[in-house]
């Protein structure tokens, strides 16, 4: 036989937004922030960045990249990404750059004649590009 217990309230609280008698929680308003597609597009459109290591290498070797060089490098990274590359060696004339394609980050940079062993590891692709010789008028 079951006795009726009185004076005890349940210890489980209903989820936020659940009103008594409705049976469904109200959904929070998500229109205020960006949706997933917008965030994804923003992340994939990010500009090419240089790691602190790559910046130090460029500075110590007195290597300067023009805006055209950076645009060419960005295009090479986009080509590598389209082919599914993850880590690429990009040879820009006399400059060798190792790039994380997924993160769009230049990891390191060196001039071709500078490397001692001529062996690059942990890359899955190589791209040969040339600097533009066109002079702006």
Q: Could you report the per-residue pLDDT of 67-123, keeping only the tens digit for each?
A: 999 999 999 999 999 999 999 999 999 899 999 999 999 999 988 776 566 788 999
Strand ranges in 44-86 using DSSP code E only, listed in sequence order = 49-50
Sequence-ordered list of residues with C-beta below 8 angstroms from that of 2, at least 6 positions apart, any chain: none
pTM, two decimals, is: 0.63
pLDDT value for 76: 96
Range of the domain at 112: 49-129
Identify whether the C-beta of residue 98 lies closer than 8 Å to the C-beta of residue 107. yes
In a domain, 11, yes or no: no
Identify whether the C-beta of residue 80 lies closer than 8 Å to the C-beta of residue 101. yes
In a domain, 54, yes or no: yes
End-to-end CA separation in angstroms for the chain: 99
In a domain, 115, yes or no: yes
In a domain, 114, yes or no: yes
H/E stretch holding 6:
none
pLDDT tops 70 at residue 64: yes
* Greater pLDDT, 39 or 52: 52
Domains: count for the chain: 1
In a domain, 18, yes or no: no
For the chain, the average pLDDT equals 80
């Amino acid at each position: 036989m079951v006795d009726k217990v009185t004076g005890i309230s349940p210890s489980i609280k209903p989820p936020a937004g659940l009103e008594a008698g409705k049976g469904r929680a109200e959904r929070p308003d998500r229109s205020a922030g960006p949706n997933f597609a917008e965030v994804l597009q923003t992340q994939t459109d990010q500009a090419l960045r240089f790691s602190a290591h790559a910046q130090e290498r460029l500075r110590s070797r007195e290597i300067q990249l023009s805006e055209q060089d950076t645009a060419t490098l960005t295009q090479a990274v986009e080509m590598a990404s389209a082919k599914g590359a993850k880590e690429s060696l990009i040879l820009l004339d006399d400059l060798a750059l190792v790039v994380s394609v997924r993160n769009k980050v230049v990891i390191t940079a060196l001039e071709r004649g500078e490397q001692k062993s001529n062996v690059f590891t942990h890359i899955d692709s190589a791209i040969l590009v040339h600097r533009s010789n066109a002079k702006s008028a």
